[in-house]
Structure 1
Amino acid sequence: MRFSAVACSALFALVHAGPLAADSLDARATTFTNPILWEDYPDLEVIRVGEVFYYTSSTFAFSPGAPVLKSYDLVNWTPVSHSVPNLNFGTKYNLNSATDRAYVKGIWASSLRYRDSTDTFMWIGCVEGKSYLWTSSGGGAKNNNGEVSSWNWKSTASVNKCYYDCGLLVDDDDTIYVAYGSTNIMVAQLNKDGTAEVKSQQVYTNGQYIEGSRMYKKDGYYYIFVTKPASDEYVLKSKSPWGPYEMKVLVQSIGGPLSSAGFSHQGGIVSTKDNQWYYVAFMDSYPGGRIPVAAPITWSSDGWPSLVKDSSGKWGTTYPMPVSTSKTVPPVTGTDTFQGTSLSHEWEWNHNPDTSKFKLLGGSTGGLQLSTATVTDDLYTARNTLTHRIIGPKSAGTFRLDISKMADGDRAGAALFRDNMAYIGIHREGSTNKLVYVNNLKLDQANSWKTSATGTVAASSTLAAGTTEVWFKVQADITPAFGSSTQRTTTFWYSTDGSKFTQLGGAFGMINDWQFFTGFRFAAFNFATKALGGSVTVKSFDMQKI
């Protein structure tokens, strides 16, 4: 692919060497392909500390919230922490009942920044009218080229004011600012700890709806990047954090890099250590959610950024790799056997979990024991449903479950989790394990996301007596179909030996609606319909591209 003139090769440092393998040294890729991460990580902000990039994203009612991902090259990412380990926004985030829960509420567009003077990562976000600050200090990033040896997130403050769709900035003199708002863009100055507001004022408006503020300082200019959803990104520029600000367009309904997806917008900018700049945005790519794409930017002599486009004037499908490095992160695919003392940061519960109802078993085999935490006939009201993002465009997630300790009335299995979902699993009836494919589970957007359907058994079978383990595979095609009538499908499979799989039921048609915001996820669940006391053990989860 040819690039426009501003994308000359001198703009980039290409990767020259690969990671060491046991018996070879493979050449690293010299280009990357968008999307940079085919998973649902929306409302993003990317920062760099030393030579390490960090990324934050919205998570709504999923817990823990506000994942932190890291990368060495701005292309390959892995989750390493969550800024909000426990959603401390009210009791509804504990999923107490069908009328006391928080689907679609919670963490929307929030901000992550690093304060070098105190070796502190700062996260701030507005949740239902209040703004919450969480911080992690003393992780060693300052003296270790950006690497964090340990995360120590603490709830530091709350401000009785909504910094809507906010972006933090730690200025050169250590002053903390936060840009926020919709239509009317505001800037607030916080106190020296970031725990209270010193002053706030409106800095920009032109009458149209804009949001998603991200605030920066470069070469003496203050910048606020804002989005006109769901198509454009604008840049505000001023010599003072308080304005006045001028505005120019960065992208406007830009085509590419994927078909049947939305326009790339609402993100932020970040520089490499050698001062090359990139804009990272997301695309509405339902049914999979909103996925990140990246492109280089250049700067004019008077301080305005421009996106590097391909020869057709579109967001490029491929660009040269941003950073030359031999450092790597784990792949997004593979098998989790739930070893160790905590879950990996790839996992998020449907709400705050009941911590007394799950346990990592440890030992040489690992495993995650899920005891029933809720008596209900509604999976949406069941606590401790464990979710995992789906990798696109096509992948399969396989859960290996020990079902030997299920109790009468328990329901456990693997779900394709969203506001319109299906699952494959076991309905324990007396001492019989009924194998079921259930579809038509729905939430009602028009009625505050209350459950409108608890599911229909569309196919069933009976497992042989004495079966103690079963593998459930959810095979999903999340190729973008946003804005189209095309319906992507998911199929559900089971096995009793982990080798030979049989499909149960027909293909499930996924919706392309955006209103739930989150894309479809793989999920493991276990809930009771009669009484608590039963359990299953998730012995492994494997995700592979197909």
Structure 2
Amino acid sequence: MSTTFVNNPVLWSDVPDVDVIRSGNAYYMVSTSMHSMPGCPIMKSVDLAHWEIVSYVFEQLEDNDGHNLTGGRHIYAQGSWAASLREHEGMFYVCFSSNDTRKFYVFKTDDIERSNWERHVIDGLRHDPGLLFDDGRVYVIYGNGGIRITELTADATALQPDGVDQLLFETEREGIGLRCEGCHAYKIDGYYYLFFIDWPRVGHGRRRQMCYRAKELLGPYEHQVVLDDDMGYHNKGVAQGGIFDTPEGEWYAMLFQDHDAVGRIPCLVPVTWREGWPVFGEEGKVPTQFEVPLRTAAVKPLVISDDFDYGQNQLALNWQWNHNPDPERWSVTERPGYLRLKTGALAESVLQARNTLTQRTEGPACTAETVLELSGLQPGDHAGLVAMQNLFGTVGVKVGEDGARWVQMGVNRGDGGEDVVEQVAYEGERIHLRIHFNFEESIDQARFFYSSDGDTWQAIGQPLQMKYTLDHFMGYRFGLFTYATQQPGGIADFDYLRYSRS
């Protein structure tokens, strides 16, 4: 069989809390999506080198003010966290907790690529769960430091009455800043294997991958450090994830690395076995490149350009909304060939703007560009292109109370509102907008531009020093937005989105 190369990171983009399974000759990966909707993306690969989005587990998780970004509420950094993906007897299962609802969710389907997931909700948080099917019984193993095990019903949709529900063990405390979390659970060749990350204060003082193993499910467990490496990047450990095998019997782990403003990026790590213990990497290091068997498949990008030329009001899978969208206030069919966004509730900044449509950014650098038509905007409306995180940057058009239009660049002023860095009077009916993102070697800067014709570009404002912050817990995205500051009903028409990596 011919081979292809895997380069690490596999995806230089925000795909955190990964969990991978193999089903036949295909691999599927789920990831955390928090406040982005639809949620829990399912990615597919046939060669481990190339991944594409094939479905989502849910269109929306809940229908309330927080999830809808209404009533002054939001779920930034909440929503779905650290999902576990498993296949068992022809069914696929995804489970996770949501910090804002304080509930545990289980979704199941017999077709992972068709998005027809059945939803079940269980009260209570089960932090960073690992789902385990074992001899006709089902367990979820979870926790931070104090690792617990709870038994579910055989169909994994509810708590098992009088089932196992206990503390499994306590992980190390001495010299540890963040105790073990991020469970991935397996039974392999008579051993139970539980994988976690922890973050010691001593030694290198970075996130590392831990393995606990036992002959009996309830223990006793012994443990080892199975990976402690940062790939030479600022002491940011490659850790948290699970293992899987190939049809040829080789083993791999998919883990992730904190990579500053671009987010948490997945890395593929070869795994071998020694005396019943998994050995991660090559001589304790994550290889930057290695060969895997080639299986031919069309390669589809993670982030795309879009002409918004759709026959029905349904977007490509690469797009996600910031929180639940308002379906009455967006369309790609009302004006064919355009994304139309309509303003609704008043907002102070893009952080409160409903129907902001986003995609990931990618390293080492990338550019997003759009054309905005202005005739439908009303006094007080603001529309344009955003570099989205809590420390956001926007470039777009603001309409004054007298109807005058200004192209402006703005940033978070510190309280969620927007400070205008620079504004310039603008008289045209269309405007081209561009953001260039640079993630090389922690430069982490975004630059903002506008043009009246798409040929001659003018920088505006100042470079945005991008920063990954835990109040959003997500890498920078680019997004198309509009919101009203005076009255609802304005219309922003986006002709296209052009995306490139550079």
Per-residue Cα deviation, 1:377-403 (whole angstroms, up to 9, x for no partner): 232111111121101111101122222
Asked if 1 retains the 8 angstrom alpha-carbon contact of 2:386 and 2:393, the reply is yes
1:56-455, aligned counterparts within 5 Å? 56-88=30-62, 90-98=64-72, 100-117=73-90, 119-128=91-100, 129-137=102-110, 139=111, 148=113, 150-155=114-119, 157-171=120-134, 173-198=135-160, 199=163, 200-208=165-173, 209-229=179-199, 231-252=207-228, 254-256=229-231, 258-260=232-234, 262-300=236-274, 302-309=275-282, 313-321=284-292, 323-338=293-308, 339-341=310-312, 342-361=314-333, 366-429=337-400, 430-442=402-414, 452-455=415-418
Cα distance in structure 2, aligned partners of 1:243 and 1:418:
43
In the TM superposition, what is the alpha-carbon distance from 1:126 to its structure 2 partner? 4.0
1:335 is paired with a residue of what secondary structure?
Answer: coil
> Kindly tell me: are residues 512 and 371 of structure 1, through their superposed partners in 2, closer, same or farther at Cα, counting changes over 3 Å?
closer
1:260 and 1:480 in contact (8 A); partners too: no
TM-score where L is the length of structure 2: 0.91
Instruction: Please name the residue that 1:476 is paired with.
Output: 437
Residues 109 and 358 (structure 1), Cα distance of their counterparts in 2 relative to 1, 3 Å cut: same
Report the alpha carbon displacement of residue 96 of structure 1 after superposing the two structures with TM. 1.2
Task: Call closer, same or farther: CA 1:337–1:176 in 2, change over 3 Å.
Answer: farther
1:112 maps to a residue whose letter is: L
SS in 1 for 2:298: coil
Distance in 1, Cα, partners of 2:237 & 2:332: 42
* Number of aligned positions between the proteins: 484
More strand by share: 2
Give, as a single letter, the amino acid of the residue that structure 2 aligns with 1:457: V
Q: Answer with 279-288 or 492-501: which moved more.
A: 492-501
Choose the corresponding residue for 2:449, options 474, 493, 513.
Answer: 493
Read off the aligned partner of 1:59 and give its amino acid letter.
S
* Aligned counterparts of 2:311 and 2:97: Cα–Cα separation in 1: 31
CA distance in 1, matches of 2:367, 2:378: 28
Q: Per-residue deviation at 1:14?
A: 4.7
Give the conservation status (yes or no) of the 8 Å contact 2:76–2:471: no
CA distance in 1, matches of 2:25, 2:320: 28
Give a deviation string over 1:117-144, Cα, whole Å, max 9, x none. 3x3443333434210122233x2x6xxx
Residues 164-203 of structure 1 deviation map (CA, whole Å, 9 limit, x = unaligned): 10011233x4432211111111222210221211222222
SS of 1:197's partner is coil
In structure 2, C-alpha distance between the alignment counterparts of 1:57 and 1:535, rounded to whole Å? 33
Q: Moved runs in structure 1, 4+ residues, more than 4 A? A: 512-515
User: 3-state DSSP class of the match of 1:380?
Assistant: helix
Paired residue for 1:4? Answer: none
Q: How far is 1:438 from its partner?
A: 1.0
Is 2:44–2:51's contact at 8 Å kept on the other side of the alignment? yes
Residues 488, 336 of structure 1: alpha-carbon distance in 2 compared, 3 angstrom cutoff = same
Q: Tell me how large the CA RMSD over aligned residues is.
A: 2.1
Gaps of 5+ in 2: 174-178, 200-205
- How far apart are the structure 1 equivalents of 2:117 and 2:458? 44
Cα distance in 1 for partners of 2:344, 2:439 equals 31
SS for the counterpart of 1:195 is coil
| Higher alpha-carbon deviation: 383-392 or 59-68 | 59-68
Which runs of no fewer than 5 residues in structure 1 stay unpaired?
A: 1-12, 16-29, 142-147, 443-451, 482-486
Look up the SS of the partner of 1:356 in the other structure. Answer: helix
Distance 1:104 1:124, change over 3 A: closer
What is the rounded CA distance, in whole Å, between the counterparts of 1:101 and 1:308 in structure 2? Answer: 40
Q: CA deviation at 1:238?
A: 2.0
Judge conservation of contact 1:110–1:126 (CA < 8 Å) in 2: no
Alignment match of 1:456 (pick from 415, 419, 439): 419
- Per-residue CA deviation, residues 141-167 of structure 1 (Å, 9 max, x unaligned), is 6xxxxxx3x221232x21112111001
Change over 3 Å in CA distance of 1:267–1:480 after alignment to 2: farther
TM-score between both structures, scaled by the size of structure 1:
0.84
CA drift at 1:530: 1.0
2:171–2:180 CA contact under 8 A, matched in 1? no
State the Cα distance separating 1:224 from its structure 2 match: 1.0
Counterpart of 1:536 in structure 2 is: 492
Partner of 2:261: helix, strand, or coil? coil
Which AA in structure 1 matches 2:276?
G
Q: Percent identity?
A: 30
Q: Identify which range, 398-407 or 45-54, moves more after superposition.
A: 398-407
The CA distance in 2 between the partners of 1:187 and 1:89, in whole Å, is 30
